[in-house]
Amino acid sequence: MAQTNNSQTREHFGSRLGFILAAAGAAVGLGNIWGFPTQAASNGGGAFLLVYLVMILVVAFPMLVVEMAIGRYGQANPVDSMRSLTANPMGKKLGATVGWIGLSVPSAVLAFYSIVGGWLICFLLGAITEVLGFEQATAWFKGFSVERNLFGTITFYVLTVLIVQGGVKQGIEKWSTRLMPALFVLFGLLFIYIMTQNGAMEGLKHYLIPDFDKVMDRKLILAAMGQGFFSLTIGGCSMLIYGSYLSKKESLPKMAMNVTLVDTAVAFIAGLVVMPAMFVAMQKGVQIYAEDGSLLSSDTLVFTVLPLMFDSLGLLGQLFAIVFFLLLTIAALTSSISMLECPVALVSERFNTERKTTSWVLGGLIALFSIVIVFNFGAMFGAVATIATQYLQPAAALLFCLFGGWVWSRNSKIKELQQGCPEFTQGWFGKLWPTYVKFVCPVLVATVIWASFG
């Protein structure tokens, strides 16, 4: 009975669009806008794009359906949703453990992600003060001081908590339906502007025309697989928790497909903007590739190369720098709200606490950890980022996958997917999916894990 009881009082997304934009927003983060174009630039442009699109459909989409289905079935936070998959007491214990491992992912990711979000806010403010002619303020915002990083990080947390405390409809849905369209509009403006510059066309060709010799390259395939996997935050718990707020009347495969399409569209458009921008910067004399054809500053591409390009384009360039950093801040925020939502949902459901207080307390606790990282940046930042994204997230994804494939009974899975999609078992996807999740997905996820150690 607990389940039906829970689903009646549980807040759901108010509209289909609200859910799609919120879930896509959770998936759209710096991985799409910063990671994807960087990976494409390092791995032969068009060839990478082609393999990436295949990998999204083969690896990420079936896994996304699993994660969302577990959440909607359990109608609860990750820990209780994983427990609900089996009646076996030992299985329940294991499920809870998997849920806790899953929950550690968004919390650990948020700890370093919000520092990057803070840099973006500082770069945004720096771009504004530069246009206004406040030189000292600009130097402070663009510098890399501990004080500036603290200011940015705390500001980013405050914005995140303010959205999460509003709940699903008034907080997450309300802001996702505003921020995500803004993202597309800003991208459009930026694309039109960059395409008017010298060298942009060359960059566009490099991005859109695949070099078929590179398509079968092992390194490229593994990079595309990993990128697709992280792009949809598989194993990051956000999709599980958003799935639990999805009405039973909706078709899960359709919703998952829409989320996948919006997320992939953002990554694709980011490439359309960043890749030509890199070639424009090269025309202006900014060095991007090393002698051997590898990217010089892959991790700082967004923070160094693009601002240099904007600076070289005069006042209009400076105005577009504001647009660009606003865009990145929005992308970072739509992800951070889904990360904070995971622990907030757990605590407020388990202990019946008020959402507002829970959001501030948990946001504050994770923020304290971020502050420790800021003060010990050299020693901790890279380590926390690596542990969260290379170890915890793939491990959680593999466990979700094994649990969803092997512990959760086939009948129960199919029944969950037939809600809102009664014809599920008639199509080829419905026939194939349960077996695919059981046997193929774990192998693919294990490959991603193996590649990250390679």
Strand partners of residue 295 = 289
The rounded distance, in Å, linking the Cα atoms of 370 and 364 is 10
In this predicted model, what pLDDT tens digit does every residue of 75-90 receive, in sequence order? 999 999 999 999 999 9
Q: What is the mean pLDDT of residues 60-85?
A: 92
State what percent of residues in the chain have pLDDT above 90.
41
CB within 8 Å of 297: residues ≥ 6 apart: 288, 304, 305
Q: How many residues does the chain have?
A: 454
Task: Decide: helix, strand or coil at residue 295.
Answer: strand
The pLDDT confidence band at residue 8, using thresholds 50, 70 and 90, is very low
Has residue 295 got a pLDDT over 80? no
More reliable by pLDDT, 390 or 140: 140
Q: 109-112: list long-range contacts, CB under 8 Å, 24+ apart.
A: 109/236, 109/339, 109/388, 109/389, 109/393, 110/336, 110/339, 110/340, 110/366, 110/370, 111/366, 111/369, 111/370, 111/373, 111/384, 111/388, 112/370, 112/373, 112/381, 112/384, 112/385, 112/388
pTM of the model: 0.88
Q: Are 80 and 74 in contact (CB under 8 A)?
A: yes
Q: How far apart are the first and last CA of the chain?
A: 47
pLDDT of 4 reads 39
Q: How far is CA 444 from CA 44, 63, 153, 256, in A?
A: 23, 10, 35, 19
Name all contacts of 161-165 with Cβ < 8 Å and 24+ positions apart: 161/340, 161/359, 161/360, 161/363, 163/333, 163/337, 164/337, 164/340, 164/341, 164/344, 164/359, 164/363, 165/355, 165/356, 165/359, 165/360
pLDDT of residue 234: 85
The closest of 245, 221, 222, 258 to 64, measured between CA atoms, is 258
Q: In this predicted model, what pLDDT tens digit does every residue of 303-333 receive, in sequence order? A: 766 777 777 778 888 888 898 889 889 989 9
> Is 16-286+310-453 a CATH 1.10.4160 domain?
yes
Q: Which three-class secondary structure state does DSSP give residue 200?
A: helix
Q: How confident is the model at residue 64 (pLDDT cuts 50, 70, 90)?
A: very high
Per-residue confidence (pLDDT) for residue 5, from 0 to 100: 40
- pLDDT value, residue 293: 66
**pLDDT tens, residue by residue, 226-264:** 888 778 888 888 899 999 999 999 998 999 999 999 989
User: 151 has which bridge partners?
Assistant: none
Strand partners, 289: 295
Report which DSSP code applies to 16. H
Q: Which pLDDT does position 69 carry in this prediction?
A: 92
In this prediction, residue 1 has a pLDDT band, given cuts at 50, 70 and 90, of very low
